[in-house]
A and B are shown apart, each in its own frame.
Chain A
Amino acid sequence: MSIALRGIAKQFGQFAAVENIDLDVPTGALMALLGPSGCGKTTLLRLMAGLETPDRGQVLFNGHDATRWPIRDRKVGFVFQHYALFGHMSVFENVAFGLKVKPRHERPASDQIRRKVQSLLELVQLGWTADRYPSQLSGGQRQRVALARALAIDPQVLLLDEPFGALDSQVRHELRRWLRRLHDELHFTSVFVTHDQQEALEVADSIVVLNRGRIEQFGVPGEIYDQPRSAFVHRFLGQANELPVEVSQGRARVGPLDLSDGSEALKEGNHIALVRPHEIEIGPEAAGWPARVLAVRVIGSIVRLDLCAAGRPLHEVLEAEIRRERYEAGRFGVGDQVGLRFRRWKLYAAASERSMAEST
């Protein structure tokens, strides 16, 4: 089932949670709604589910106006961050809930329900937990039960609100891959909300970046990461060093480096350059912007360096990330002078913070 939002707006008191959003979720998509807290991503998801009614605009399911449809007619599976399992019911009863509340003429026979619940529990690899109670399960197991329960009503759409937010990083990592596999096997349309850019990049096949109730950018993960359309998106997806840049006579200079990419005519005035840590190259002092190494942290296969470039205040540290082998071959340590070069960077006008590519 495809979902489309047309000019959706939702206000809570004075606070505009979602402003005039258009979005298409094609059938079979696995889409992430990504943004900082308060950006409207959860509201957007709840609007799709029917847990909120929009003040303006339309929600279309397969092209039909579903704006006023009650939740139970939408065939939507909804999974909460904190699982919301019914604590007084066993795992079996939790999963069976959606089947048992059906009106009598639609309700399957009890042995049919039993078979279906058991097969759903097998699907989430928790067949052995049927008689347990939610309080006896771990967080990851509870979330899988919640998923099995949502799948019991044969939803055509699966909506997940920060599904892995309450789990520790190891379990999270496993569940992400598992969800991806499940989605590929079962072919339903899924939308999940997250504030974790890594999660979005890893699981989703398209990402919507939201900020202050508006869509900042929509695209496939690689595209959003490599071609952010605004400084906000650039900063939000991965880390970025921020450098003030003065543009004069068509040249963008920072320290001894010339950051004019030559492709677009640069407007005069203040800009900022955003450079990701792994886009900084470190060489001998003479070969770039002179900088001093302030700190070195070895984090597994990568090494993170704090650098102070010549002409910049000491507290405005540049963060660089290089591969472990590169660091071990480079023979530099804390206090040494090195030379910096940027492999990639992006310029944004300081005032509007829109990308240059966008404004031209």
Chain B
Amino acid sequence: MADAEISGLADAGACLSVTDVACAHHPSRRRRLSRLVLIALALLFFGLFLLLPLLAIFAQALSKGVSAYLDALIDPMAWAAIKLTLLIASIAVPLNLVFGATAAWAIAKFEFRGKSVLITLIDLPFAVSPVIAGLAFILIFGAQGGLGAYLRLHHIRVIFAVPGMVLATLFVTFPFIARELIPLMQAQGKDDEETALSLGASGWQIFWRVTLPNIRFGLLYGVLICNARAMGEFGAVSVVSGHIRGLTNTMPLHVEILFSEYNYAAAFAVASLLALLALATLAGKSFLEWRQPQLRQARREPS
């Protein structure tokens, strides 16, 4: 049964479902059959739930031909949505990069009062529904909200404008980079930093020359994931955006509007861009994991 150990779980499952006698009689045939069944099941699941929807998006997007596809993308409203999405991501991701890296640095390398509170707070955006997060921002910055009157007096628009959407995106994507870095930095410990300290390095020198190079792949990975989420965020952004076409529509919101107008080809054309972004993110992630195998072990997937 040396072979059985290699093929692992598949055989264990097969042998549990039939009697030991049957297993002993035709071990190789049974084994091959059960292996095929399991592989087929996995492929079927993969195809049905992952691959098919992806293909459907591209099929629908191109259903009226390539020119219609391109038209949908260069439509001014679509173009405005793409630009706004890129703008929001290009503000939210760098900010979260700084917040996430500093929070992870503080949590992994220092002991202080209230550390567990901070860790819980970082997880908050995962626990709160994005719609609730959006509503919370309306409560704070909206016309009826606490700061609404002050903002109106100074002609600052937050809700139903870009600042509000950036805030909502920041909130929703906050945990991604910090969560990525904390386990990695904790696993690396403090020895490198303490050594650098004893060699006379200053805090900045330690961060730039020792800590940052140690976490560079993890950081890049976190940025990728954070960026994907920032561009794809729907709920929170939808609540604070006000859906003003050409002004406060991001790509996911634009897709939704087109879809509810029965303009399927255009909706899926824009959606296909988001899907491409997701694929590019996954490719980047695989590349980083291939370059840095310990990322896979150090990472605890946020649920």
Contacts and interface: CB of A to CB of B under 8 A. Distances in A.
A237 B271 CA distance: 73
Interface string B198-227: 111110010001100110000000000000
B129 interface: no
A331 interface: no
A76 B201 contact: no
Contacts of A87: 214
A343 B202 CA distance: 59
A97 B214 contact: no
A86 interface: yes
B198 A102 contact: no
DSSP majority for the B interface? helix
A251 interface: no
B198 A78 contact: yes
A97 B199 contact: yes
B192 to A, nearest CB: 5
A71 B191 CA distance: 14
Contacts of A78: 194-195, 198
Given A101-B205, A101-B209, A84 B199 contact: no
Contacts of B194: 51, 78, 80, 84
Contact of A72 (B192, B197, B210, B213): B197
B302 to A, nearest CB: 27
B173 to A, nearest CB: 28
Given A86-B210, A87-B214, A88-B214, A98 B199 contact: yes
Interface in A34-86: 49, 51, 71-72, 76-78, 80, 82, 84, 86
A76 B213 contact: no
Given A86-B210, A87-B214, A88-B213, A101 B200 contact: yes
Contacts of A49: 198
Contacts of B200: 72, 98, 101-102, 153
Contacts of B210: 86
A205 B195 CA distance: 26
Interface string A135-150: 0000000000010011
A326 B48 CA distance: 81
B4 to A, nearest CB: 37
B201 A86 contact: no
A106 to B, nearest CB: 9
A82 B190 CA distance: 11
A97 B213 contact: no
A152 B196 CA distance: 12
B198 A97 contact: no
Contact of B198 (A76, A82, A86): A76
Interface residues of A, number: 22
B214 A71 contact: no
Interface in A78-112: 78, 80, 82, 84, 86-88, 97-98, 101-102
A84 B202 contact: no
Given A72-B200, A76-B198, A84 B191 contact: yes
A152 B200 CA distance: 11
Contacts of A80: 191, 194-195
Contacts of B214: 87-88
Given A88-B213, A101-B202, A71 B192 contact: no
A84 B192 contact: yes
Contact of B191 (A82, A98, A101): A82
Interface string B18-57: 0000000000000000000000000000000000000000
B203 to A, nearest CB: 11
Contacts of A97: 196, 199, 201, 209
Contacts of B199: 97-98, 101, 149-150, 152-153
B33 to A, nearest CB: 45
A86 B197 contact: no
Nearest to B195: A84
A43 to B, nearest CB: 14
B205 A71 contact: no
Contacts of A152: 199
Contacts of A98: 199-201
Contacts of A76: 198
Shortest beta-carbon contacts, A-B, top 9? A98-B199, A84-B191, A78-B198, A101-B201, A72-B200, A88-B213, A84-B195, A101-B205, A80-B191
Given A72-B198, A80-B191, A84-B192, 6 more contacts: A86-B209, A87-B214, A88-B214, A97-B201, A101-B202, A102-B200
16 contacts: A71-B197, A72-B197, A72-B202, A76-B198, A77-B198, A78-B194, A80-B191, A84-B191, A86-B196, A86-B210, A88-B213, A97-B201, A101-B196, A149-B199, A150-B198, A150-B199
Interface of A: 49, 51, 71-72, 76-78, 80, 82, 84, 86-88, 97-98, 101-102, 146, 149-150, 152-153
